Amino acid sequence: MRHARRRVVRRGTQLAAVGGLLLGGAMVTTAMASETPGASAVPFSSAAKAGDTGAALVAKLGAARTAGSWIGADGKPVVAVTDEQAAAMVKQAGAEAKMVSHSMNELKAATATLRAAPRVAGTAWAVDYRTNRVMVEADSTVSASDWSDLSRVAAGIGSFVQMQRSEGKFTTRLNGAQPILSTGGRCSAGFNVTNGQTDFILTAGHCGPANTVWFDDDQGNQQLGTTINTQFPGSDFSLIQYANGKAGDNADVVAIGNGQGVRITGAADPTVGQRVFRSGSTSGLHDGTVTALNATVNYPEGTVTGLIQTNVCAEPGDSGGPLFSEGIALGMTSGGSGDCTTGGVTFFQPVTRAMAALNVQLIASTQNATGGQSASPAPSTPATHSAIAPSAASPGSSTPVGNAGDTGLVARLTDTRNVGPGLLVIGGSLVALVATRYFRAEQDRKAYQRYYSATWG
């Protein structure tokens, strides 16, 4: 099949801004069977239009009169408002208005107070637009004393700050997607980006510090690139420069296994209530909904802010993998709690913010998301389902990846008959460790191993 011509699109609010995942250092997940979406499937443009309408109304009315917007179960925009006049303006614009007690200014002030309190690893918080509350969660590692202290802080803010405990543990999800190997173990390639002269891999920041050397083969011979910029904690993204400066063919495709991929046709910020898809080599392709934006997570390694919070499941081994919907790039897997058996919470670094901070653009395809492409593969059954009907969105348009005669690592890894996730983690990490001619000094290498040992899958 002839590859679509690539284009570079700058970051922006328009859906034409697009990204793609690398192949030849790309993400690979468990193979999924293809399934034709239902006839009632709502294209991403519809969800984006609803999100844009809500966001525009919030911007027009201001943070003192609104408290966020989201996509309702019927796919229409909903805006939280604090007065009747604002409600009337929202209804006149064709959106649904929901009267609430607390403005966005109040909700943001609450999160600022939480941020100013003594940091407690294993906690997270975000504004829940739909309930007009600030939800604070503490995982199983938080002591009774710390829980009590944080509860007092929450009580001092007001009853709209709700505390809850979970049985899981908030951790970064090291490893994942199409494996890229380093001394720190295995991580995920995210999206391909460029500065106009050189191509890079955009992935999770917790995957490794600057100067980390990455390989894309199981013998430690094919050097993929080197991390040149990383931000973690604070944010969670990093930039890996290709050793040869180019991402190669299929840079605009997210590989999803079984020789298939989803062609990425846009990049955008998600909306609360939007159905999204996350892919990773440990747990495959799963879906869920965006439950909050600008979430804060206190990982053991440090605090990360501005994250997308979802009920999509993930597991150790899924880090750095892409979040997308209808072929639109949204973010990279950061961390979370739970698993794909019992469900959980997963956080993502917004791709648009990462690109803006790094001054890079996603590498895009000129091919339309649905033009001449086959139906999208269906996700694995998620432990936590979306509130939106399953037919309301799909991962995107399916397209073949790679060449039929390709016998390299990428082709082998997309064939689940050849690779077991556990063997890949163990074998890949051991091979990378003995490729010493490429690695930093022994002392630094051991320090890096110790730093990430707690989060290896």
- Altogether, the residues listed in the chain come to a count of 457
Task: From the candidates 103, 128, 182, 206, give the one annotated as an active-site residue.
Answer: 206
Q: What SS3 state is found at 83?
A: coil
Q: How many Å separate Cα 331 from the centre of its chain?
A: 4
Gyration radius (Cα) of the chain, Å: 21
Verify whether residue 415 is a known catalytic residue.
no
Q: Which residue has the tokens 């909700």?
A: 107
Verify whether residue 339 is a known catalytic residue.
no
Verify whether residue 159 is a known catalytic residue.
no
Task: From the candidates 319, 397, 398, 429, give the one annotated as an active-site residue.
Answer: 319
List, in order, residues 6 or more apart from 68 with CB less than 8 Å away.
58, 79, 80, 104, 107, 127, 129, 272
Q: Which residue has the tokens 């284009």?
A: 7
d(CA 373, CA 268): 22
Give yes or no for a cis peptide into 316 (omega within 30° of 0): no
d(CA 437, CA 187): 21
d(CA 384, CA 344): 7
Q: Cβ atoms within 10 A of the Cβ of 405, count?
A: 6
Q: Provide the CB-side half-sphere exposure for 453 (13 A, CA).
A: 7
Burial, 450: exposed, middle or buried (Cβ in 10 Å; 0-12, 13-18, 19+)? exposed
Evaluate whether 364 touches 222 at the Cβ level (below 8 Å).
Answer: no
Q: What SS3 state is found at 444?
A: helix
Evaluate whether 175 touches 425 at the Cβ level (below 8 Å).
Answer: yes
d(CA 239, CA 200): 6
In the structure encoding, which two tokens stand for residue 107, read together? 């909700």
- Tell me the β-bridge partners of 262: 254, 398
To the nearest 10 degrees (0 to 180), the angle between helices 84-92 and 44-61 is 150
Report DSSP state, residue 17: -
Q: Cβ atoms within 10 A of the Cβ of 434, count?
A: 10
Task: From the candidates 139, 216, 218, 236, give the one annotated as an active-site residue.
Answer: 236
Q: Cβ atoms within 10 A of the Cβ of 37, count?
A: 19
Question: Residues with catalytic annotation?
Answer: 206, 236, 319
